[in-house]
Structure 1
């Protein structure tokens, strides 16, 4: 049995034809339509028609707050045309197969718990360092979604405890994602906005650029503080880091150094978070979306 698995991002729609064990048989991507649901659904219908004679269902990973039980997108993240939309019902009019949807970071967490870095963990957290910061939380062996399907929306965490009324707010999603790191490097090197990407940051850091290493240290120090907060809140076995920049060994090295620093200097003593890299990297959302689909249909999950 095969499934069409679709990971919708702000710039690209990744898709894969997968079997039940998450083995990828085919894959590709197309640009994400930026303007309308009509254009978006047209892309999905095109993909469905390509594979309709082979698949038993469609599994979506989507940005935003997702009611995965009702198939409803409460918010669409950067894709505002998906706000307050019954996506499953709308797509199913044109693609008459079982369809499921789940939040993208929760899909990443499902993938890691199924076959990745959270296997065997009763309690674990996945932190996805994308443009912003996504999260998935496993408690007592189950994905925790909260009362309004918004658990793990780490981008919304306010990071300035000394904030005064009337001042700008600071969110983890603004400063803690990969774009936040790039902005810090642009600032310290006095470069124009949006002139640096993550790959360039780590090329400079690996070459020993002192300014970039200073910015990376400050960035990962703030990450380490948030990881201690997550450890305090959920006491996980593991915190797994995903997103494109997580592939860089230097990122994990700096995070570990700053975790050690905090453990040595904080007046209170908690278990130091065990931080690992996500196993599935850029395919995590696809694998997790498939796992969610298998959970939601009668097909047993191995």
Structure 2
């Protein structure tokens, strides 16, 4: 079994990342395909099966090399039954039997989990978690996702919606609308889009001087990266926006840590590429709101696997199944 591979799949709204992964979590080969969500998502698992067969042929390996397929999918997942509960952007109806569909298309044993949970499992297995069995992973991207691992197992909750850290209410009154239908979610202030929105609020108040306002004038828009770059260069307005983002993130993470006391909280996703300026600012706010024993025992760290976390965590689902 040692020389067999697991297929790890990270299913996104626009692209699907795939990888052949060894039993000890090393990526042998990775690639991606567009996600075809037309026709109520009926082509998604079929396309995955086809691309796996094509890749095996290209690499001159037989299907017997593969021991199973793990997948991270956006939205709440009923892990036991392999059902995805609701996905806004993939065309599937509620309660889509994704595990059964994937097994039928690929003729491989499958395991399905929420994508942020898979990223958390990936970081636990091969990344910043470094074997920590109590871990919270927060992915800061276009939205904010989360995965909670307690004693080595993903916390799924009664219907697979545990760990939705992005939907903790940060601004109870007058917060911005979130895609989930609520207002004031952490996602509205700590995602890439939330950071830009906060910076734009500051820019509207300001005299439009400084680096960030110059970038806005020159490009007609700003990005989250622009906010961090400008803050790094001492732009007062960008620093104010960063401070607000860090406050909300540090406050939410401290409350999560006060509840769970994890060994590590790992920040991943595109926004985490800001690096030290983000994590140091968040650590400062976290320290202010965390219960003393928690502050002393829970470490904040940046994710190390980048875009590979999802496929590695998805492969871990199969490895874990085999070990049971």
Q: How would you bin the TM-score normalised by the shorter chain? A: 0.7 to 0.9
Match of 1:12 among 10, 15, 19: 15
For 2:187, which of 167, 170, 173 is the aligned residue? 173
How many Å separate the matches in 1 of 2:112 and 2:88? Answer: 14
Residues 10 and 189 (structure 1), Cα distance of their counterparts in 2 relative to 1, 3 Å cut = farther
- The Cα shift of 1:221 comes to 1.0
Q: Which one of 221, 227, 247 corresponds to residue 201 of structure 1?
A: 227
Residue 22 (1) aligns with residue 36 (2) = no
Listed as ranges, the matches of 1:68-87 within 5 Å are 68-81=79-92, 83-87=94-98
Instruction: Give the one of 50, 53, 72 matched to 1:49.
Output: 53
Q: Distance in 2 between matches of 1:141 and 1:147?
A: 18
> Following superposition, which runs of at least 4 residues in structure 1 exceed 6 angstroms of deviation?
none
Contact residue 121 and residue 237 of structure 1 kept, 8 A: yes
Q: CA deviation at 1:153?
A: 1.2
Listed as ranges, the gaps of 5+ residues in structure 1 are none
Q: Work out which of the residue numbers 156, 160, 181 in structure 2 matches 1:149.
A: 160
Deviation by residue 1:149-182 (Cα, 9 ceiling, x = unmatched): 2110112222234579xxx731122222222112
Aligned ranges 1:136-285 → 2 under 5 Å? 136-161=147-172, 169-190=183-204, 195-249=221-275, 250-260=277-287, 262-263=288-289, 269=292, 271-272=294-295, 273-285=298-310
Distance across 2 between alignment mates of 1:106 and 1:40: 21
Q: Distance in 2 between matches of 1:133 and 1:63?
A: 12
The answer to whether 1:37 aligns with 2:41 is yes
Q: Secondary structure at the match of 2:105?
A: coil
Residues 27-65 of structure 1: CA deviation (Å, up to 9, x unaligned): 122222243312323421321221452423222111111
Bigger drift between 126-135 and 217-226 goes to 126-135
Q: Is the 8 A contact 1:68 1:101 kept in 2?
A: yes
Q: Give the conservation status (yes or no) of the 8 Å contact 2:148–2:154.
A: yes
How big is each residue's C-alpha offset from its partner over 1:69-118, in whole Å with a ceiling of 9 and x where there is no partner?
Answer: 21111122533426310012223322211122111111112122223322
Is contact 1:73-1:82 (8 Å) kept?
A: no
C-alpha distance in 1 between matches for 2:154 and 2:105 = 30
Contact 1:64 1:76 in 2 (8 A): yes
SS state at 2:139 partner: strand
Contact 2:41 2:91 in 1 (8 A): no
TM-score by length of 1: 0.86
Q: Supply the distance in 2 between the matched residues of 1:138 and 1:98 (Cα, whole angstroms).
A: 23
Indicate which of 3, 6, 12 corresponds to 2:6: 3
In the other structure, the counterpart of 2:146 is 135
Shift in Å, 1:210: 2.1
Which runs of 5 or more structure 2 residues have no equivalent in the other structure?
A: 57-61, 176-181, 205-215
User: How far is the alpha carbon of 1:270 from its aligned partner?
Assistant: 5.7
User: TM-score with structure 2 length normalisation?
Assistant: 0.81
Contact 2:7 2:19 survives alignment (8 Å) = yes
Is the aligned partner of 1:119 residue 2:130?
yes
SS of equivalent to 1:25: strand
Give the count of matched residue pairs.
292
Alignment RMSD (CA, Å): 2.7
- Structure 1, 94-103 or 44-53: larger mean CA deviation: 44-53
Distance in 2 (CA, whole Å) between partners of 1:205 and 1:11 is 31
Shift of the alpha carbon at 1:280?
Answer: 1.5
